[in-house]
Structure 1
Amino acid sequence: MTSLIYTVSKERFGLAKKKPEKPAPIISRRQRLIKQTRKELSSVKRQYRKAKEEEKEPSLSEVQHVVKKARTGSVPGPNGIPYRVYKMCPGILQKLWTLLRVIWRKGKFPDCWKRAEGIFAPKEKDSNDIGQFRTISLLNVEGKIFFAVLAKRLSTFLTDSNYVLTTILVLVSGESEVTLSTMLRKLRRYRKELILLWVALLLLALVMIFYRDAGIKILVGSRHQLWTSHDTDPKVSVEAKAVDIPPTHGYELARRVAERCSSYVRNRISGGIDEGVFGSFSSENIDLCIVWKVGTTFIRRLFLMKQNPRFAKVISPYEINFSEDYVTGSRIRMDLSVKRFLFVRNPYKRLLSAFVDKLMAPNPVYWTILGVKIAQYAKQSPSPLSLACGHDVEFHEFIRYSVLTLDPTQRFRPGAPDGHISSQSSLCKPCHVKYDFIGKMENFQSDSIELIRQMRFTNETLDVLSENGDMLSAEDAILDSCYQPFDPDFQAGLLKCISFYEALKRTWRKMQIRGLIGPEDIPVTEKDAVLVTQDKLFKLAMESRDHTTQTERLRMKNNFYREFYNSIGAEDLSKLRAIYAEDFMLFEYDHRPF
């Protein structure tokens, strides 16, 4: 049937003629290259979409994050362009991001990134020997931004791959600049020798790869000199300003205190010399009168480094555990060969610090010593648990108890004054003991450097604390705070009075009041509290700190301060002014809290 239909149709309609086949096109070499390039581009795009985040080019958000976290006041490198340009001009930052992506793809770094502008800064007065100077190396901020992105990715990769302990990486991740020596000092605090060796070798390899043609420009007098690895003769460059350590005014304050004392009638100054507590730290020709809540933990570590052979090779005092004890002296020595130091603090801020650290924080030892007494004598209608634990003292109750204890007009005093609330002038008797140097907690970063100089620490210790003192202090304070809820000596007394979750919340609030972390609530639920470790709490605190600026944390700290003192009645404030009158007058503090 099929054959019949085909035959009839062929006779009637005929067959369609086949179109001649077109000859195969001749592809030129250029077309072949274009086709191959398109295939490669498609393949690269597929691989890029599948690639891990750390293998991709720097994103704009990563660059913006690094620039946002960088200090606006950082000194620029040889090209003179500061971070402020990129902070204030988003358009210029986007152009820089485009250039950084090109550098990432090509894997070749600009020569200007391999040049550092070094400046000799004196470490002490009347420096005239090369060993009395330290070198500050200034790099171009563009290179620092690029390598900050790389460092952040590297730390994330190491953390996610479990190559390095999270507790250690938290200390170094997210920083714009991490020098080899700084990272090693931080790692050394945890005594992780194998990790320490691995990170040291890794960083050394990075330095060799990125800076094999490195050069440095040193300021000598008013002229720069430039050396590179290929140069034999120095090349003179342009003039620049030297960087110096901020001056300290502790000697001037000590002189002014002595003048005020001499102008006063002696019997108007509190008591005689025999009434002084006079706890002191002593080392060779240095004596320091102890005033609690005025940098005593840090100062104790300095004297441990000098007096205890176990810490003879320690570079940074922050490498010493905060629980290490030191046997204090009983009196300040009056020898002419001894230099006498004293550090003081605004009395209002010292009181708040004592309350937060000893009573509001999870500290069952001081709840028993001080909190129970406050519940008995200053709390209205205390509960049986309050009288047994002393765990729920409010700030206005603490102030009321301080007034009852310290006010000489009170007929009944509930107990002897605690050293944390006693006036600084009553503890150290500045009108009976001539102090050579009186530093302030408000200027502790610069004033403590003078103590370190006089104690004749190594140049390396001086460098570490001059350059990274604030950062190390904040990390140490967070580490100390996070340890409190997990302190074995605290556990039994703590859980009798409050829950573990409450202890975590109090620790978090303590760090917020001190301006160490951000304002958000602790990111832990009551159900998950039992799973929180000290390392986990420390990591959460450091993340909170990294997500806020110093300005934001300082504003929050000041708001807390005002909130606490607004809760104090006018009568108690008036009595506080009278109790601490000598501190206000001698040490030049305002007698009003704000």
Structure 2
Amino acid sequence: MRQLFDCDANCLLKHGINVKNSVENASTVMGKAFSFLFVREPYGRLLSSYSNTFYLPKKDWLTRGSQLIQQVRENPAELSLKYGHDLTFAELIKYVVDRYENAQFLDENFRLIRHKSCNPCTYNFDYIGKLETFESDWDIILDEWRSNEIIKDYPSDILKTFRLTSFNGPLNHLFVTIGLLKTSGIPVHSLFVRTWTYFQMIGVISKHVPIPYLKEEIGKINLADFKKTLLNAIELTEAERRDITTQKIEAMRQAYLTVPMDYMERLSKMLREDCLLYGYDERPPFLFDRVNNRYNESGRDFDYFKAIQV
């Protein structure tokens, strides 16, 4: 959006404040604009929120992570309460489901998609796309804008450019977290491994490409070196033409296998309306069928969450 409209973060914020302070209500403003919404498969969305906030090294560990551990874990260790580094996916699901059932506040990463301003029953969006088909859906929106002269043209490599810059965030978070945990005793090597496996679980790096650093080498690695190594791993993955589309599914199944079935059933009730609204399976077989060998055999050769220890 910044590139398309030559509008940096401050520019976008200014426009957002102007809309928020407008005397017109949101429905009126949206009626005059091209409004669109992108949704995501609800079970995958929860795992993405976990992996991006609590598995990937982030300073959020010391605030949100420690707070959640205090609320959901019995007899948490002092290190966990102080640094919040080892919140598990099952604990996050317990937290989300319990708060939803008790009508307590959930932040935007964990609340339902249809919440307030994202509710398609309240607002008549011009277009609703899906993250799973983002490229083709985004092309439709861009073509619509161009045909209505909202934009003149757009770079053909705009999505590729976005992907390359999207790596900067996780890497910056890693090195900030290393500084915050310097005296914690938490191994720095494990933070690098968690970042590496994060890119494997989102299907960017092949699970057959291991992190190429020994524990004793980690102290010498800077952000530029690690980014170069990461990009080389991505190129190697693409060159080998390995099927990495299954890695997201494998990581999801591994994560949800740690969630007790009673919470899985309660979670399915929570997500049911989102699934029905946007055309997703409310009980994906690969997550709910824990007996079928076809699902059990998938991804058993690799542990996507090996770097987290409770």
Q: Is 1:382–2:76 an aligned residue pair?
A: yes
- Contact preservation (8 Å) 2:4, 2:151: no
1:527 to 206, 216, 224: 216
Q: For residue 127 of structure 2, what is the aligned residue in structure 1? A: 437
1:76-132 per-position Cα deviation (integer Å, ceiling 9, x unaligned): xxxxxxxxxxxxxxxxxxxxxxxxxxxxxxxxxxxxxxxxxxxxxxxxxxxxxxxxx
More strand per residue: 1
Given that residues 474 and 516 in structure 1 are in contact (C-alpha distance below 8 angstroms), is that contact kept between their aligned partners in structure 2? no
Match of 2:180 in 1: 493
Asked if 1:464 is matched to 2:152, the reply is no
Residue 537 of structure 1: CA displacement? 1.1
- Cα shift at 1:531: 1.0
The answer on whether the counterparts of 1:500 and 1:529 sit within 8 Å (CA) in structure 2 is: yes
Matched residue type, 1:503: L
Relative distance call for 1:303 and 1:542 in structure 2 (3 A) is closer
**Contact 1:439–1:447 (8 Å) recurs in 2:** yes
Q: Return the TM-score normalized by structure 1.
A: 0.42
Give 3-state SS (helix, strand or coil) of 1:376's partner.
Answer: helix
Give the structure 2 partner of residue 448 of structure 1.
138
1:316-327 matches, within 5 Å, as 326-327=12-13
1:583 matched to which residue of 2? 274
Structure 2 CA distance for partners of 1:372 and 1:529, relative to 1, 3 Å? same
Q: Displacement, 1:433?
A: 1.2
CA distance in 2, matches of 1:477, 1:558: 22
Deviation string 1:37-79 (CA, Å, 9 cap, x unpaired) is xxxxxxxxxxxxxxxxxxxxxxxxxxxxxxxxxxxxxxxxxxx
SS state of the match for residue 528, structure 1?
helix
Q: Is the 8 Å Cα contact of residues 62 and 83 (structure 2) preserved in structure 1?
A: yes
Match of 1:393 among 87, 103, 122: 87
- Matched residue SS, 2:32: coil
Q: Which residue is 2:298 aligned to?
A: none
One-letter identity of the residue aligned with 2:255: F
Per-residue CA deviations over 1:234-257 (Å, capped at 9, x if unaligned) read xxxxxxxxxxxxxxxxxxxxxxxx
Which fold has the larger relative contact order, with Cα–Cα distance below 8 Å and residues 6 or more apart in sequence?
2
- Give the whole-Å Cα distance in 2 for the aligned partners of 1:324 and 1:394: 36
Distance 1:552 1:381 in 2: 42
CA offset digits 1:280-319 (Å, max 9, x no partner): xxxxxxxxxxxxxxxxxxxxxx0575263xx5xxxxxxxx
Q: CA deviation at 1:398?
A: 0.9
Relative to structure 1, is the Cα distance of residues 545 and 492 closer, same or farther in structure 2, using a 3 angstrom cutoff?
Answer: closer
Q: Aligned ranges for residues 11-22 of structure 1 at < 5 Å?
A: none
Letter in 2 for 1:339: F
Q: Name the CA distance, whole Å, in 2 between partners of 1:511 and 1:534.
A: 16
Report 1:23-102 matches (<5 A): none
Q: Residue 592 and residue 513 in structure 1: after superposition, are their counterparts in 2 closer, same or farther (change >3 A)? A: same
State how far apart, in whole Å, the 2-side matches of 1:333 and 1:350 are: 27
Do residues 544 (structure 1) and 230 (structure 2) align?
A: no
Matches within 5 A, 1:396-407: 396-407=90-101
Which range moves more in the overlay, 421-430 or 542-551? 542-551
Which of these residues, 560, 569, 576, is aligned with residue 251 of structure 2?
560
2:37 alignment partner, SS class: strand
Match of 1:359 among 54, 59, 65: 54
Residue in structure 2 matched with residue 421 of structure 1 by the alignment: 110
Shift of 1:477: 3.4
Long gaps (5+) in structure 1:
1-301, 312-322
What does 1:279-298 align with in structure 2 at a 5 Å threshold? none
State the secondary structure of the residue aligned to 2:216: coil
**Secondary structure in structure 1 of the residue aligned to 2:128:** strand
Q: Is the 8 A contact 1:517 1:542 kept in 2?
A: no
Structure 1's 324 and 347: CA in aligned 2 closer, same or farther, altered over 3 A? Answer: farther
Range 369-378 or range 421-430, more displaced:
369-378
Equivalence for 1:349: 44
| Equivalent-residue separation in structure 1 for 2:33 and 2:11 (angstroms) | 24
1:480 aligned residue (158, 169, 175) = 169
Give the secondary structure class of the aligned counterpart of 1:449.
helix
Matches within 5 A, 1:100-179: none
1:492 Cα shift?
4.1
**Greater fraction of residues in helix:** 2
Residues 208-237 of structure 1: per-residue CA shift (max 9 Å, x gap)? xxxxxxxxxxxxxxxxxxxxxxxxxxxxxx
1:444 deviates by 0.6
Q: Verify the 8 A CA contact 2:27 2:123 in the aligned structure 1.
A: no
For 1:306 and 1:391, the matched residues in 2 are separated by 39
3-state SS in 2 of match to 1:430? coil
AA in 2 matched with 1:533: N
Q: 2:261 aligns with which of 548, 565, 570?
A: 570
Structure 2 CA distance, aligned partners of 1:493 and 1:384? 17
Number of residue-to-residue matches in the alignment: 267
Aligned mates of 2:73, 2:3 — CA distance in 1: 40
Distance 1:403 1:496, change over 3 A: farther
Q: Root-mean-square deviation (CA), in Å?
A: 2.5
| 1:522-553 CA distance string (max 9 Å, x none) | 11112111111212112222222222245522
| CA-CA distance at 1:333 after TM superposition | 4.1
Q: How much identity, in percent, do the aligned residues show?
A: 24
Question: 1:508 aligned to 196, 211, 215, which one?
Answer: 196
Within the alignment, does 1:371 sit opposite 2:65 as a pair?
A: yes
User: Quick one: which amino acid aligns to residue 199 of structure 2?
Assistant: M
Partner of 1:306: 5
Letter paired with 2:112: S
Q: Does structure 1 retain, via aligned residues, the 8 Å contact 2:206–2:242?
A: no
**5+ unaligned residues in a row in structure 2: which ranges?**
287-310
Structure 2 CA distance for aligned equivalents of residues 567 and 450 of structure 1 = 39
Report the secondary structure of 1:381's partner residue: coil
Structure 2 CA distance for partners of 1:325 and 1:554, relative to 1, 3 Å: farther
